[in-house]
Structure 1
């Protein structure tokens, strides 16, 4: 990833210093949307950073008057962020946040930056509490972002979503949650609908900018496991007890393999231990210790 482009790019969706906590940014409602409160508004949803082992996953939304949405492609050239150069994505994002620009006056946007620490924390919760997989986390983020636009009294009528998981069931879930809004969930939505392409840019540039500041000069590449620079950094910076800092997704198999490969200290977590009837009553254990048996209390160290 070319990082020099981000040195002079200050995004409101990337507050500094970089936070370890999941956070959401919402732009003000665009002037043109406020001026036409009864006109239908459409909204697109996309994400960036689902697969990487490093850095956040960012969910982005963009919305505008339905009549304006065709300009996003025909006038500005919004497309799936993966098909555009870093320079072009950067230019489009700057246009979105330029206060006096046409895009800023017509397009509203928001992001939820789900940090690596929080993603893994939800996925690695103890069995008794119940963990939350990545799809469920993504669905929750999407629902909250859409609801946030409705809370701003925007006349939202159509929502287009790049799918996470089976599109049919996800569409039913969102349609049930937002009755009265036409919801379309499909694969490759970022290539089919300019409003989703715009959300794709918002999410991608926010993630890349976050990763730039998180790296703080480290040469760790894109953050994807298939990137040789990412793999090199991951395997060369393992602490034998703590692994890495909060920018790494510990729940990824790539991270677990790197820990084993680097000889990290094996850990046994309390919730992984099988329960036994012999330990059901702590008081009885203390008053009537079994002959020849010792009991241990394990300390759990957490950040």
Structure 2
């Protein structure tokens, strides 16, 4: 997942509109790349930055014992980008954010973090505010490039690399997910395991896994734990102590 921030002087917002930036979701890939080139060329009044979260990082965050859900991850990434702009010397006055979760709660959270800024959080902000539209274009172009040029460390010689756009409504993506599934190890790090589309395929086609030490699973309650084999077992009969002890009338005591 790719998060982006875009900033420009308040007095140059009309100049940003003349670039005809729009919500990246309604643009074709070619249109996004053309607009990105315009943004990149307008360095005299436009700046932008990215934060890329790998699928493996997101999966590990969402599936750890203390879960770090996608909303919290998104909020913290946005906070990090705003802080990055401030630390870089950008004189931020107003912030416009596309909401993740309830807009009012998200806005309150950002205001607590940055009380000196005027912050507006709105649903579909990327279609309402040109600066957010510009940020969404930067994020989408970067994401498309990352998907196209992904380097597979696992080696997928037997599986084609025609995985489509990587979105759940893409038939090529669904077909690739089915073909590249390893029944034991699942997917390469390219795929986010916590993604519902991947989880459905894993549950239906991968080898089922049962954890014997799962105390919350009723089916495991009557099963013996592996740790029980290492526990010290009490012998039914008391063993006679060594003659060194009984000749000297020595006994084991637990209290004085």
Shorter-chain TM range is 0.7 to 0.9
Does the alignment pair 1:76 with 2:15?
no
Q: Deviations over 1:61-112 (max 9, x none)?
A: 0001111112111x21111112222112111212333xxx3x1121111111
Question: Partners in 1 of 2:139 and 2:105 — Cα distance?
Answer: 24
SS for the counterpart of 2:19 is coil
Higher-Rg structure is 2
Does the alignment pair 1:120 with 2:64?
no
Question: Partners in 2 of 1:232 and 1:290 — Cα distance?
Answer: 60
CA contact (8 A) 1:190 1:196 kept: yes
Residues 270 and 184 (structure 1 numbering): CA distance in 2 closer, same or farther, change over 3 Å?
Answer: farther
CA RMSD, 1 decimal: 2.7
Question: Partners in 2 of 1:230 and 1:289 — Cα distance?
Answer: 58
Residues 284 and 132 (structure 1 numbering): CA distance in 2 closer, same or farther, change over 3 Å?
Answer: same
SS for the counterpart of 2:90 is coil
Which residue pairs with 2:89 in the alignment?
153
Choose the corresponding residue for 2:209, options 267, 273, 280: 267
Question: Partners in 1 of 2:37 and 2:211 — Cα distance?
Answer: 46
Instruction: Give structure 1 stretches of 5+ with no counterpart.
Output: 1-56, 292-303
Choose the corresponding residue for 2:201, options 250, 258, 266: 258
Does the alignment pair 1:206 with 2:149?
no
Task: Indicate the structure with greater strand content.
Answer: 1
Instruction: Give structure 2 stretches of 5+ with no counterpart.
Output: 153-159, 237-256
Question: Partners in 2 of 1:58 and 1:290 — Cα distance?
Answer: 62
CA contact (8 A) 1:61 1:145 kept: yes
TM-score using structure 1 length: 0.68
Equivalent positions of 1:1-303 (< 5 A) are 57-73=1-17, 75-97=18-40, 101=41, 103-126=42-65, 130-214=66-150, 218-262=161-205, 264-269=206-211, 272-274=214-216, 286-288=231-233
Residues 287 and 149 (structure 1 numbering): CA distance in 2 closer, same or farther, change over 3 Å?
Answer: same
CA contact (8 A) 2:19 2:38 kept: no
SS for the counterpart of 2:5 is strand
1:222 deviates by: 1.6
Which residue pairs with 1:21 in the alignment?
none
Residues 155 and 238 (structure 1 numbering): CA distance in 2 closer, same or farther, change over 3 Å?
Answer: same
SS for the counterpart of 1:211 is helix
Q: Which has the higher contact order (CA 8 A, sep 6+)?
A: 1
CA contact (8 A) 2:55 2:191 kept: yes
TM-score using structure 2 length: 0.80
Question: Partners in 1 of 2:169 and 2:88 — Cα distance?
Answer: 41
CA contact (8 A) 2:3 2:77 kept: yes
